[in-house]
Structure formats: C-alpha cells, structure tokens
Amino acid sequence: MIEAAEMRHLLNLSRLDVETGEAEQLRGELNAILGYFEQLQAVDTAGVEEMQRPVALVNVMRDDRPGEMLPISALEQLAPQMQGGFIKVPRTVDAE
C-alpha cells in the first residue's frame, strides 16, 4: 500500500498541487484500487486460457452520408480566429 511519503513523491512527480486533506483522500482511493489488484492476483487462473481481449474486434461503421454544413458566416462567428476561410488554432507541436 502507498504510504504518506510515497504519496507526496507521486504528487511531486505528477506535478499535482493538492491540499494535505485531498492528498490523504487520493492516497486512500489509490490504496483501494491497489487492493482490488491484490484480490485479482489472488484468483487461481490455472487452466484458464489466455485471451487478448474479452470481445472480438469488430469495426461498426455507418454509411458516410454528407449532411448539412454550417455556412462560413456562422463558422466565423463560432471560431475564435479565422484565416483564409479556415479556423486558425494555436501550434501544438514545435517545428524544429
């Protein structure tokens, strides 16, 4: 289980700034989650066949039908910034 010092270390690593009471609550919740994992590890799975996932992978797709489009004037009112008929967004990846 997670001790108070370990919890402070985890909060520091995750750059989370929480009050002491909230940190204790989070520690209790994390310990409860770890307790569930301990219960799972105690289950005897001898003779149980491994599986990749509990259900088969299936792509459920709908027909791609064009719908109504917003007029550019409405889009310009909704978007914080437009440039050349496109919505301009802040750069998320630095180009080197």
Based on the structure, what is the number of domains in the chain?
1
Residue 93 falls inside a structural domain: no
- The single-letter code of the amino acid at 19 is E
| pTM beyond 0.95, yes or no | no
β-bridge mates for residue 82, sequence order: 87
For position 55, what pLDDT does the model report?
Answer: 86
pLDDT digits (tens, 9 = 90+) for 21-58: 999 999 999 999 999 999 999 999 999 988 888 888 88
For position 20, what pLDDT does the model report?
Answer: 86
> Tokens representing 71?
């007029």
Greatest alpha-carbon span in the chain: 64
Residue 31 falls inside a structural domain: yes
Residue 60 falls inside a structural domain: no
For position 31, what pLDDT does the model report?
Answer: 96
For position 96, what pLDDT does the model report?
Answer: 65
Residue 47 falls inside a structural domain: no
> What domain range is 24 assigned to?
4-41
Residue 55 falls inside a structural domain: no
